[in-house]
Structure 1
Amino acid sequence: MTSETVPVIELVGATKRFRSASGGVHTAVRDLDLTVAAGEFVAVVGPTGCGKSTTLSLVSGLEPPSHGRVAVNGREVTGIPEGVGYMFQADAVLPWRTVLDNVTLGPRYRGATTSDARDRARDWVDRVGLGGFEDYYPHQLSGGMRKRVALAQTLVNEPRILLMDEPFSALDVQTRGLMQAELLRLWSGTGAAVVFVTHDLEEALVLADRVAVMTAGPATVKQVFDVRLPRPRDAEEIRLTSDFLDVYREVWESLREEVQITRERMSGRVA
Structure 2
Amino acid sequence: MTQLTEPVIALRAATKVFTNRDGERHTAIRDVTFDVHAGEFVSVVGPTGCGKSTTLGLISGLAPATSGTVEVAGAPVREIPSGLGYMFQQDAVLPWRTVLDNVAAGPRYRGASRASARSAAGEWVAKVGLAGFEKYYPHQLSGGMRKRVALAQTLVNEPGILLMDEPFGALDVQTREHMQDLLLSLWAENRAAVVFVTHDLTEAIALADRVVVMTAGPATVKDVVPVGLERPRTVEEIRLEESFLEVYRRVWDSLREEVEITRARGAARVA
TM, length-normalised to structure 1: 0.98
The residue aligned with 1:169 is: 169
Deviation per CA, 1:65-90, whole angstroms, max 9, x where unpaired? 00000000000000000000000000
Counterparts of 1:216 and 1:169 in 2: how far apart (Å)?
A: 20
Q: Which amino acid aligns with 2:255?
A: L
Letter paired with 1:20:
N
- SS for the counterpart of 1:240 is coil
% same residue: 69
Q: Does 1:62 align with 2:62?
A: yes
Equivalent runs, 1:23-172 vs 2, <5 Å: 23-172=23-172
* Dislocated runs of 4+, deviation >6 Å: none
CA distance in 1 between partners of 2:234 and 2:180 (Å): 9
Does residue 178 (structure 1) correspond to residue 178 (structure 2)? The answer is yes
The SS at the match of 2:239 is helix
Letter of the 1:248 partner, please give it. Y
- What are the superposed Cα offsets for residues 66-124 of structure 1, whole Å, 9 maximum, x if unpaired? 00000000000000000000000000000000000000000001111111111000000
Q: Any conservation in 1 of the 2:3–2:37 contact (CA below 8 Å)?
A: no
The answer for the alignment partner of 1:203 in structure 2 is: 203
State the secondary structure of the residue aligned to 2:123.
helix
- Which residue identity does 1:179 align to in structure 2? M
SS at match of 1:204: helix
Instruction: Report the 3-state secondary structure (helix = DSSP H, G, I; strand = E; otherwise coil) of the residue aligned with 1:111.
Output: coil
Measured after TM superposition, the shift of residue 2 of structure 1 is 4.2
Q: How many residues are paired up?
A: 271
* Aligned-partner Cα distance in 2 for 1:252–1:3: 26
CA distance in 2, matches of 1:78, 1:239: 39
CA offset at residue 24 of structure 1? 1.0
Residues of 1 paired with 2:253 and 2:93: CA distance? 38
Q: 1:231 maps to what in 2? A: 231
Summarize deviations over 1:186-230 as a string: whole Å, max 9, x none.
Answer: 101312000000011111011000000000000001110000211
User: What TM-score, normalized by structure 2, do the two folds share?
Assistant: 0.98
- Give the CA deviation at 1:22: 3.7
RMSD of aligned Cα (Å): 1.4
